[in-house]
Structure 1
Amino acid sequence: MVAISLSAVPAIGAVQDDLDGAPGTMSLQVTTDPSMIECRKLETVNPASLMFLPLRRTFNEDFDEHPLSGGRWVPHYAGGAAWPEARYWGGDGSDFKRKTSANGEQQIYVDPRYTGRASAPLGLDPFKVKDGVLSIVASRTPQELKSVLFNNEYISGILTTQGRFAQKHGYFEIRAKVPVGHAVWPAFWMLADDGGWPPEVDVLEGRGERPGDLVMTTHWRIPSTQKIQSCGFDFAVGDASSTFHNYGVLWEEDRLVYFIDREPVSDIKVPIGFDDPMYLIVNLAIGSKFFVGVGPVDAESPPSVAFEIDRISAYQIDMEQARR
C-alpha cells in the first residue's frame, strides 16, 4: 500500500506551546477520531475531536556547541544501511558507514577525524554552529581529495544517536529550514535500535528540486511475504527553505501521527514490526536514483548547500498526567 499526494497544511487554529522552544513538559494537540483506513491524510480535523496530550521531555539538542563535543551524536552509520549482520562492519578504510549506496547517493559523510584512504585525519568538518543553529553543509569534493574520498562527488554530514539515545513511543521533533537545489536530499528519520530495517519512520524528507514539497513516510515489512510496504504523503510548506518550521511524529501504541508546526497532518495504524526503540538520524544526502524530486548530481547542483537545524527534541507521553 502506497498513498502519496500533495496538500497544504491544515490550519487548526489551536493554542500550542511556543514552536521555537522545547520545554521540559508540554502538551500536544491530537485528534481522537478513529482512523477508518490504515493510512490517512488529515485534510480536515474535527475541532470537537481534539485533545491535549501531556508530554515529558527526554532528549533535547539546542546546538549551542559543536554536535560532536558532547558525546551524544555519532557522525556515521553504525554499519552501512543498518542491516543487522553489518551493524559494526566498515571502518575508515571504506565509505561503507558513510553513505547509503543503494539509494544512489553521491556524497560521503565526513567528520574532522575521518581519514578515508589517507593515513591521517583529513580535518573535514561539515558541521557549523552559529547562534544556536547547526548547519550541515554539503559541498563539492575538492579534486585533490576525490581519490582519498572514494570518488564521491560531495562531502556532507550525518548525525545519529545509535548507541547513545533510543526510545519506544513518544513524540520526536526537529525544527529546521529545509534546503533546496538539484540533487539535494535533507532528512530527519528514525531506525530501530537493533540495527534491522525496516521499520523506518521518515519524519521529514525534502525534495530538493521541488521547493516547499516535504514528505513524511512510514516503512515496514510484511512477515509472510517479506515485501516492503510504505505509506506517506507530501505536504506543501511554501517557505520551508527560508523559515524555521517544526516537523514531528507521535508514536503511540496503536498509531503514528505526523505533525507540522505541532498540528496533525496525517496518521497511520502502527504496522507490524515496530517493537524496538528507535534512534534519531539527521543528514544531508546528495543525489538519488529513485527518490522523486532528487536527481543525480549534474552541473545544476549547487557548489555548497546547508541544512539549518535549530533543535531536535524527544518526549515521552506522561501517562500519569494523562490519566488525571
Structure 2
Amino acid sequence: MNDAPLILDDEFDGTGLDTDVWNTCHWWDNGGCTIATNDELEWYVPGQVRLADGTLLLTAEQRQVVGAEGRTFPYVSGMVSTGPPRYGAEPKVAFTYGTVEVRFRAPIGAGLWPAIWMLPANQESKPEIDIFEAVGQRPGQATIYFHPDPELNLTASHTLVELPPGQDIADTHTVRLQWSPGRLDFFFDGKKAWEVTGDRVPDEPMYLVMNLAVGGEFGGQPDQSVFPATFEIDYARIWSGGAA
C-alpha cells in the first residue's frame, strides 16, 4: 500500500450500521425506495439491513408492501449508499479518483440481483461504474459494467467474469476498482478483469452503493423458493487519490 488516504474502512463489526457513513436508501428516499426505471420488484427498507458477526447483511424476502405513489411491491430488500441522504444534500462519502475494495458472498437463485457500484455525487444517474453485479440464475458468472456520461454519446460497455470451475458467487470474493485520470482498472479476486480508458472515464466525485435488487430488466423473474436471500459483505474500503 502507498500513502493514499483511507477515507472509508468499515468491517461492520459494530452492533448497528454507521449512519455517519451509510444511508439505507437512495437520495429519493420516501419511506423506502426502488429504481422504477429498471422495473425492479423490491422496495428497500432499513429493516432489511443489519450487522451480525462482523458482516453487513442485505436481505431480500417476499413480503408485500406499499411504496411510493401507492404502488405495491411483492418484495422488500436492503441496500446501503454513501451518497446524499436526500435530494440536494451532500454525499456522506464521495471522492474523485482512488480505490474501492469490497469482500462479499452473493446469494444464488433466479431473480436475485446483487450489485456493488458507483454514482455521481451531483445526483445524476450517469456516469455509472458497476464494479460487480450478478444474477442468481447464473451463479458462475459476474458482470462489470460501465455507463458513460450521456453527453459523450457513447454506449455502455461491459465484460463477463467466468468463475473457475467449482466456484460460484456464493463463495467469498473480493472486487477492486482502481480509478485514476483517464483509467478504470477492475480486479476480481486479485486478478485484472477489465479496463476502461480515455475521455469517457469520469472525472467527478462519486459515491458507493451496495444492494440486493429483485427482478427487473437484469434480474429476471424471481424463483419464490430462494427467499429469504442475503447479500453478505465482510468489508468495504475506499482510498482517495492515488492507488492503494
Mark yes or no: TM-score above 0.5.
yes
- Determine which of 289, 292, 311 is the counterpart of 2:235: 311
Question: What is the alpha-carbon distance in structure 1 between the residues aligned to residue 23 and residue 188 of structure 2?
Answer: 26
Identity %: 26
Say whether residues 1:58 and 2:16 are aligned partners: no
1:62 to partner: Cα distance: 0.6
1:118 corresponds to: none
1:82 corresponds to: none
1:103 corresponds to: 38
Say whether residues 1:138 and 2:77 are aligned partners: no
Unmatched 5+ residue regions in structure 1? 1-25, 28-53, 80-89, 112-124
Any residues of structure 2 matched to 1:79-158 within 5 Å, and which? 79=28, 91-92=30-31, 98-111=33-46, 125-142=47-64, 145=65, 150-158=71-79
* Runs of 4+ more than 4 Å apart: 145-149
Say whether residues 1:73 and 2:22 are aligned partners: yes
The residue type paired with residue 296 of structure 1 is Q
Unmatched 5+ residue regions in structure 2? 84-90
Contact between 1:222 and 1:272, CA under 8 Å: does it hold in 2? no
Say whether residues 1:265 and 2:193 are aligned partners: yes
Contact between 1:67 and 1:73, CA under 8 Å: does it hold in 2? no
Say whether residues 1:175 and 2:175 are aligned partners: no
* TM-score in terms of structure 1 length: 0.66
Secondary structure at 2:137 match in 1: coil
Contact between 2:97 and 2:203, CA under 8 Å: does it hold in 1? no
* TM-score in terms of structure 2 length: 0.86
Question: What is the alpha-carbon distance in structure 2 between the residues aligned to residue 183 and residue 272 of structure 1?
Answer: 31
Secondary structure at 2:43 match in 1: strand
**Mean Cα deviation higher: 157-166 or 300-309:** 300-309
- Determine which of 179, 184, 202 is the counterpart of 1:256: 184
Say whether residues 1:242 and 2:191 are aligned partners: no
Cα displacement string for residues 36-92 of structure 1 (whole angstroms, at most 9, x for unaligned residues): xxxxxxxxxxxxxxxxxx64422111111245344210111112xxxxxxxxxx633
The 1:205/1:66 distance shift into structure 2, 3 A limit, reads: farther
1:48 corresponds to: none
1:271 to partner: Cα distance: 3.9
Contact between 2:108 and 2:170, CA under 8 Å: does it hold in 1? no
The residue type paired with residue 159 of structure 1 is V
Question: What is the alpha-carbon distance in structure 2 between the residues aligned to residue 300 and residue 243 of structure 1?
Answer: 22
Contact between 1:187 and 1:205, CA under 8 Å: does it hold in 2? yes
1:128 to partner: Cα distance: 2.8
1:274 to partner: Cα distance: 1.6
Secondary structure at 2:157 match in 1: strand
Question: What is the alpha-carbon distance in structure 1 between the residues aligned to residue 174 and residue 24 of structure 2?
Answer: 23
Any residues of structure 2 matched to 1:170-319 within 5 Å, and which? 170-223=98-151, 227=153, 229-238=155-164, 239-272=167-200, 274-289=202-217, 291=218, 294-297=219-222, 299-300=223-224, 302-318=226-242
Secondary structure at 1:153 match in 2: strand
Contact between 2:58 and 2:212, CA under 8 Å: does it hold in 1? yes
How large is the RMSD of aligned CA atoms in angstroms? 2.4
Contact between 1:181 and 1:209, CA under 8 Å: does it hold in 2? yes
Contact between 2:39 and 2:215, CA under 8 Å: does it hold in 1? yes
Larger relative contact order, structure 1 or 2 (CA cutoff 8 Å, min sep 6) = 2
**Larger radius of gyration, structure 1 or 2?**
1
Contact between 1:63 and 1:310, CA under 8 Å: does it hold in 2? yes
